[in-house]
Structure 1
């Protein structure tokens, strides 16, 4: 959503100040939703949240300030100290249930609970970043039919882009407990594969102690109505809360080794002549971890690499089932069939995606692992007759022009009112990891001899390019990384091969 600064108020309080990006600041819908969410977030109390201390949704750059909580994130703690034992997991689960209960009581849903949004403070876990997700979720960032959250912790209904309620947070809590036990609820893979598994496959609970599996399995139910409430979780995970902490029930969830307290940073104080809090965007601040949140954005700090901050949101394409084709392709047909022409406000269905066994003069061969059935998607106000596709290819060494060792194709064909937006969502879904390093920000490239605009970026170990037209929206990841121009040229070749006129309907 923007940039986070570690700062001091004029009275000396240490706070985390989140300043929205200019694109969001210019969106009246975002401002209205942000104002409503901030008003609700101010009411959240409880022992396990970072409280909102001030905000100005009407400032030139809308901002939100929360209490600064010193301590490692849960993800950092697990990386350093390893999995938690059953006693620690129960305390962690109860603390998170208590935090969610406080958040839900104020009419909010977190929507992005994960280990990176949980600070392990000296007095127990604290949940961060509640109260702003809905503001982001309801803006243009998801007008292309996107889901909001982090793959691997998304509830099935959230991965499919449906409206969510408190049960989605309970699902995420269950996934967090699996992670804290040293597991991964849906294994490893791309964001799209993780979202597919959330919808269609069983959770992996093998890392959990036997005594916790029934409770976590209930949290991870595919049916939101079957998940326990946060109050029920408190009874299931901490039935002795009335007795208070004892020698064998520490106040802070423990790992197998003791964890030293994190030192409190010493941020730069705001000078006496600094603007008042109403102009916090202009105040003197220093960022604890300088990252601009959106790819392609310039960091306001010299030497800071472009990227997304670790507490940022993942704008992931709705892939309730993102699928590999077992055959030639899933067709878009004429009137009376999926994707028909009855609604004239949509573009005509003229092209579809077909994923062949080889690409670029047999230079890339299609991998046979993890093939899944095709998946038609529900219609929306901006998409009709859409189906998801994905396939991985590896270099065969048989074509001199091939410039990459591996290619991953993700896309959809259908009828799109905003194909460029869907394309950008696909690119996001292929590049967001929560800690990504953006070495080449998004750039629009037109390959010589082509009239199609291709968008490309390099994130971590892959260069990703994509296009969007009335009937096909595709993102392609190339490994290892290469120049954006080289990847765009390869994308143009692949587009010519996989974007084909719709086959005639069978009589």
Structure 2
């Protein structure tokens, strides 16, 4: 959820005015922001890079290269890159803001989603991944926290640029990078073999979470999670039968044996499956079929963003008054 800016947070970054904090992670801090003079349709999620990363080797070069590639991704299922600056004192990038809860927040607060909703969720996420992969990018960190449930449907966030971060951390530490419980065997290996098929594996884990409320490799210890992923010991208890084959196929150990995003779309989307060969499937009419509880969460996020936009700018922290010499 949106929170007030910290006292030491910047008030402006590049051409954007910061409105509040959205979260933080291994790469940096994310803010809700708006271009000066912008309105509700101009809101962005702006991420600033941690200071430790900006001085690491050729991180800025990787950052700029990945940002340029990410600009080419155009999909209603992906939060598009709006602007970035790899040369700023602290590099930053801004993507379209999606008002809504993450899949993690929604399931944690409301419980698993209905099967038909999970199927449509999976089909749209597969479409988003297809767009990312079509730009020769790999998401690399697909997890429930990186799926935002907006009114028109789900959106992938935090794609592409993760590669610059991953490469920097791998170079500096040689350790794996990813989100425990939603990593592929390739992530666990800690090498550079993460591919589009790795994203498909992660999507299978995300769909399991959406349908059951738990990931297929959940455990209390990181070492146990890593072992289960590397050995293919997925726990699919509670997963509806209608989703079991699809999720199991995504979670195959051999990347070459996993379905493609196109195969997933055909398997998950009833309209696509019912379309005649060579014909375009019918587009979904109206809003995405979120349950009422999810719609209420979306409204809460929309309201918070609207209030932040209308609030007066947060003033900079004033400097302390000068000390007066003792009389």
TM-score by length of 2: 0.78
Is 2:106 the partner of 1:77?
yes
Please report how far the alpha carbon of residue 254 of structure 1 lies from its aligned counterpart in structure 2 after TM superposition.
Answer: 3.4
The SS at the match of 2:30 is: strand
Please report how far the alpha carbon of residue 129 of structure 1 lies from its aligned counterpart in structure 2 after TM superposition.
Answer: 0.4
Aligned counterparts of 2:128 and 2:294: Cα–Cα separation in 1: 24
Please report how far the alpha carbon of residue 138 of structure 1 lies from its aligned counterpart in structure 2 after TM superposition.
Answer: 0.9
Partner of 1:102: 131
Aligned counterparts of 2:314 and 2:131: Cα–Cα separation in 1: 31
Partner of 2:290: 254
- Please tell me whether the aligned partners of residues 100 and 148 of structure 2 are also in contact (alpha carbons under 8 angstroms): yes
- Please tell me whether the aligned partners of residues 45 and 95 of structure 2 are also in contact (alpha carbons under 8 angstroms): yes
How large is the RMSD of aligned CA atoms in angstroms? 2.4
Please report how far the alpha carbon of residue 28 of structure 1 lies from its aligned counterpart in structure 2 after TM superposition.
Answer: 4.1
Match of 1:184 among 215, 224, 229: 215
Aligned counterparts of 2:199 and 2:36: Cα–Cα separation in 1: 36
The residue correspondences of 1:267-306 to structure 2 (distance < 5 A) are: 267=308
Q: Deviations over 1:315-363 (max 9, x none)?
A: xxxxxxxxxxxxxxxxxxxxxxxxxxxxxxxxxxxxxxxxxxxxxxxxx
Is 2:262 the partner of 1:236?
no
Please report how far the alpha carbon of residue 188 of structure 1 lies from its aligned counterpart in structure 2 after TM superposition.
Answer: 2.1
Answer 1 or 2: which has greater strand percent.
Answer: 1
- Please tell me whether the aligned partners of residues 216 and 235 of structure 2 are also in contact (alpha carbons under 8 angstroms): yes
Aligned counterparts of 2:146 and 2:201: Cα–Cα separation in 1: 15
The SS at the match of 1:91 is: helix
Match of 2:246 among 211, 215, 229: 215
Q: Deviations over 1:85-124 (max 9, x none)?
A: 2211110110110010011111110111111111100000
The residue correspondences of 1:76-475 to structure 2 (distance < 5 A) are: 76-140=105-169, 142-162=171-191, 163-182=193-212, 183-241=214-272, 242-245=281-284, 251-255=287-291, 259-260=295-296, 261-263=298-300, 264=302, 265=305, 266-267=307-308
Please report how far the alpha carbon of residue 82 of structure 1 lies from its aligned counterpart in structure 2 after TM superposition.
Answer: 1.3
Please report how far the alpha carbon of residue 8 of structure 1 lies from its aligned counterpart in structure 2 after TM superposition.
Answer: 1.3
The SS at the match of 1:174 is: helix
Q: Deviations over 1:17-76 (max 9, x none)?
A: 111122222234100000010001111111111111111111111110111110111111
Aligned counterparts of 2:215 and 2:99: Cα–Cα separation in 1: 27
Please report how far the alpha carbon of residue 255 of structure 1 lies from its aligned counterpart in structure 2 after TM superposition.
Answer: 4.5
- Please tell me whether the aligned partners of residues 232 and 252 of structure 2 are also in contact (alpha carbons under 8 angstroms): no
The SS at the match of 1:236 is: helix
Higher relative contact order (CA 8 A, sep 6+): 2
Structure 1: which 5+ runs fail to align?
272-283, 287-299, 302-507
Partner of 2:17: none
- Please tell me whether the aligned partners of residues 2 and 20 of structure 1 are also in contact (alpha carbons under 8 angstroms): yes
Aligned counterparts of 2:146 and 2:34: Cα–Cα separation in 1: 22
Aligned counterparts of 2:47 and 2:32: Cα–Cα separation in 1: 9
Please report how far the alpha carbon of residue 191 of structure 1 lies from its aligned counterpart in structure 2 after TM superposition.
Answer: 2.0
Partner of 2:33: 7
- Please tell me whether the aligned partners of residues 197 and 258 of structure 2 are also in contact (alpha carbons under 8 angstroms): yes
Q: Deviations over 1:261-294 (max 9, x none)?
A: 33321335799xxxxxxxxxxxx779xxxxxxxx
Answer 1 or 2: which has greater helix percent.
Answer: 2
The SS at the match of 1:252 is: coil
Structure 2: which 5+ runs fail to align?
1-26, 273-280, 318-327
State the structure with more CA Rg: 1
Please report how far the alpha carbon of residue 244 of structure 1 lies from its aligned counterpart in structure 2 after TM superposition.
Answer: 2.8
Please report how far the alpha carbon of residue 81 of structure 1 lies from its aligned counterpart in structure 2 after TM superposition.
Answer: 1.9
Aligned counterparts of 2:124 and 2:185: Cα–Cα separation in 1: 24
Q: Deviations over 1:370-414 (max 9, x none)?
A: xxxxxxxxxxxxxxxxxxxxxxxxxxxxxxxxxxxxxxxxxxxxx
